[in-house]
Structure 1
Amino acid sequence: MDTPTSFPNTTEQFCDHDALNTSWIPPYIYIISALGIPLNLLVLLVFLLHKKKCSVTEIYLCNMAAADLLLMLFMPFWGVYQANDHVWTFGGPMCTLASLLMVMNYNCSIYFLVLVCVDRFLALVHPLTQCKLHRRKYAMLGCFLAWCLGLLLNIPTLMCKRTAVSDNIEEPTCQWGCFLSFYFTHELIQTIAAFVLPFLIILFCTVKIVQALTGRPPNEGRKLQKEHKATVLVLSVLLAFFVCWFPFSLVRMIELAVRYNLIEETCSLVHHLYICRVLFINFGFSNSDLNPILYVIVGKHFRKKMSEVVGGRESFKMSSTRFTTSSVKGSWKRRA
């Protein structure tokens, strides 16, 4: 995700990327940020303010919303950077922090999806085992480990992403400041640890979940129906994530294949990979807006919680108004 402005091989210097129009990127980033911040904040408030404790699935989805919210809060800085023609005016620490959160959002989101898929797998395929493991404290521990792993994988970003002045640009840019060989090693580890392995786990759990759902009798109990609804929401969020992020992950794997001479490098290939990376990484960011929308559209239980939270606040205001009115009337009567 931390992408250098060019490939390290000599072919790149003869490839012209100026033909790609990127003027749409800043307004696009501003729009998804303006939508993503309130939407993910709404999800967090619904989960945190509801009188009932979050279920295990909701704990994972709440953490996903937190990761998306952190990303959306720092995306406008990236939009200004793009609008200023890659001139970074916010200082070195902000360059490192914004870059870190962009990558951590991707990493932590897929780890939360792994956790929620394993949870659904246990709930539907191995319900007896799930009774012992399906506890909130294990879910919280899993989320904590997911955040730690996302940070651990991005220590190279903390070390290497910094502001620097290029030879042909006098203004500072936010770029990779370490050896490019270290960058591609980091990309390789990211691809394996944050895409290939999680994808295999999610694929296995999803197949088993779908088999369990299709094999259920139509007159299943109320508890099983509740599990079914939660699983449909999880599968929808999972599909949205892979629709948004799989194209970028595929481009990154092709780039690594080019780097390690598994695919012959040509100027045309490098140019098209550059265009695809720019398009697909920005398309992937839209996943942070899509998740809250899915919670409202697919998540019937979430809609119920949201209405109860909103209704609870309104009823609290009405009761407070009645109390104030009655207090004022009582004081007037006592004075009379």
Structure 2
Amino acid sequence: MTLQPTSFPDLNVTLLYEELNHTNESHCPHSEAWEWLNTGQPVYMMFIAVLGIVLNTLVLTVFFLQKKSCTVAEIYLGNLAAADLVLVSCLPFWAISYANDYNWPFGQFMCKAVNVGIKINVYSSIYFLVLISIDRYIALVHPMSHGRMRKPKYAWLGCLLMWGFGLIMSIPEFVFREVNYFPKYNNSGCFLYFPSKHFAVGFEAMLTVLNFIIPISIILFCTVKIIRVLRTKIMSRLNADKTKHKATTLMLVVLLAFLICWIPFHLVTIMIWLLRIEVLGGCYITNVVNICKLVSNYPAFFNSVLNPILYVIVGKNFRKKVTDLFKQCGVTKTPLSERGHSNLSSTQNTF
């Protein structure tokens, strides 16, 4: 006998209790919101996956098939798009699992691999934004003294280190993710089981510091400095460096979108950590946290679709690159004189 849709909350709450090292005897009545959340989540995840794969593939195609070399800003945004592409490519597996009454039909290895892919995005994408913030900070606040640091080879090295960091931080997912059978629900689920409560508390505390407090602090510091410089230049009517201003505007919009989409996810992670150390507790609080855990995934996943849209809306030169790409593919033919003017313009602009 398989689970009915109304049984989703019971299984989810039971699993959260097990993750928090409570006993199986603990049971929380579920809210009516559960049925709506669990019914809509597979559709939402599949929609985000399809749209995200198309849009992020377009971004990567535009950046890496253009004739000239990528700028430092494009390298960072391209790697951010690649991280988003990894995330959205993993979502269909979970969408199918949720639609199948939380049953995981893809086996042990895919249980580990899919969640490693998702966590790599979570851990690395925020540090790509740290690199973007530092790059804009150097370009606007210290353009003369540290400008030599803004070279493509250093940008590629920084991105490589961030991918490595994300992979290392995802190792617990590969080690402790398991497919377990739950006889009560006649279901096999893919869940993360830490070896002990102390390990879980320590690991999640480390994640909170490394993946939230430190990067957010750096991003906020750089952003405040950048805004001050921009205000000063606007007040003094110094418009000589419009290229940097346009690039910085796009970066600030991307940063703001990321913070809005991902801060709820990290706050819920902190709440789960507080449940583990029993600062928070009780049936009602656990149920609320479990609902928030699901809800916070919605804006976090949407961010992987939002970034490419922002490039098109805010990035004037990105729209031009898209047009040039279609021209290269033979959609339209451009006269030689216009092509020369186009190449000159694209050389002068960053975004």
**1:30-61 per-position Cα deviation (integer Å, ceiling 9, x unaligned):** 11111111000000000001111111011000
Provide the residue aligned with 1:5 in structure 2. Answer: 16
SS of the counterpart of 1:53? Answer: coil
SS of the counterpart of 1:220? Answer: coil
SS of the counterpart of 2:105? Answer: coil
Residue 226 (structure 1) aligned to one of 243, 250, 254: 243
Residue 128 (structure 1) aligned to one of 138, 144, 150: 144
Residue 73 (structure 2) aligned to one of 51, 57, 65: 57
The answer on whether the counterparts of 1:37 and 1:72 sit within 8 Å (CA) in structure 2 is yes
Aligned residues: 314
The answer on whether the counterparts of 2:130 and 2:218 sit within 8 Å (CA) in structure 1 is yes
SS of the counterpart of 2:307? Answer: helix
Q: Percent identity?
A: 40
Residue 152 (structure 1) aligned to one of 152, 168, 176: 168
The answer on whether the counterparts of 2:71 and 2:152 sit within 8 Å (CA) in structure 1 is yes
The answer on whether the counterparts of 1:245 and 1:284 sit within 8 Å (CA) in structure 2 is yes
Provide the residue aligned with 1:247 in structure 2. Answer: 264
Q: 1:129 to 1:169 in 2, by over 3 A?
A: farther
Q: Does 1:39 align with 2:52?
A: no
| Deviation for aligned residue 1:130 | 3.2
Which runs of no fewer than 5 residues in structure 1 stay unpaired?
A: 320-336
**1:112-151 per-position Cα deviation (integer Å, ceiling 9, x unaligned):** 0000100000000000133210100000000000000011
Post-superposition, which runs of at least 4 consecutive aligned residues in structure 1 deviate over 3 A? 9-12, 315-319
**1:265-287 per-position Cα deviation (integer Å, ceiling 9, x unaligned):** 12211111111111111321110
Q: Does 1:215 align with 2:232?
A: yes
| Deviation for aligned residue 1:79 | 0.1
**1:16-40 per-position Cα deviation (integer Å, ceiling 9, x unaligned):** 3364121000001111111111000
| Deviation for aligned residue 1:12 | 8.4
| Deviation for aligned residue 1:11 | 9.8
Q: Give the distance between the partners of 2:296 and 2:24, measured in 1 at CA.
A: 23
Q: Give the distance between the partners of 2:54 and 2:309, measured in 1 at CA.
A: 11
Q: 1:142 to 1:232 in 2, by over 3 A?
A: same
Q: Give the distance between the partners of 1:63 and 1:129, measured in 2 at CA.
A: 27
Q: 1:274 to 1:234 in 2, by over 3 A?
A: same
Q: 1:214 to 1:12 in 2, by over 3 A?
A: farther
SS of the counterpart of 2:296? Answer: helix
| Deviation for aligned residue 1:83 | 0.6
Q: Does 1:187 align with 2:204?
A: yes
Provide the residue aligned with 2:349 in structure 1. Answer: none
**1:176-202 per-position Cα deviation (integer Å, ceiling 9, x unaligned):** 233252333322222111111100000
Which runs of no fewer than 5 residues in structure 2 stay unpaired?
A: 1-12, 336-351
| RMSD, aligned α-carbons | 2.0
Provide the residue aligned with 1:197 in structure 2. Answer: 214
Provide the residue aligned with 1:302 in structure 2. Answer: 318
SS of the counterpart of 1:244? Answer: helix
Q: Give the distance between the partners of 2:329 and 2:24, measured in 1 at CA.
A: 62
| Deviation for aligned residue 1:173 | 1.3
| Deviation for aligned residue 1:315 | 6.3
More moved, 50-59 vs 169-178: 169-178
Q: Give the distance between the partners of 1:268 and 1:26, measured in 2 at CA.
A: 25
Q: Does 1:266 align with 2:282?
A: yes
Q: 1:278 to 1:246 in 2, by over 3 A?
A: same
1:79-118 aligned within 5 A = 79-118=95-134
The answer on whether the counterparts of 1:161 and 1:174 sit within 8 Å (CA) in structure 2 is yes
Bigger Rg, which one: 1
Q: Which amino acid aligns with 2:96?
A: V
Q: 1:271 to 1:171 in 2, by over 3 A?
A: closer
The answer on whether the counterparts of 1:95 and 1:161 sit within 8 Å (CA) in structure 2 is yes
Provide the residue aligned with 1:16 in structure 2. Answer: 29
Q: Give the distance between the partners of 1:178 and 1:92, measured in 2 at CA.
A: 16
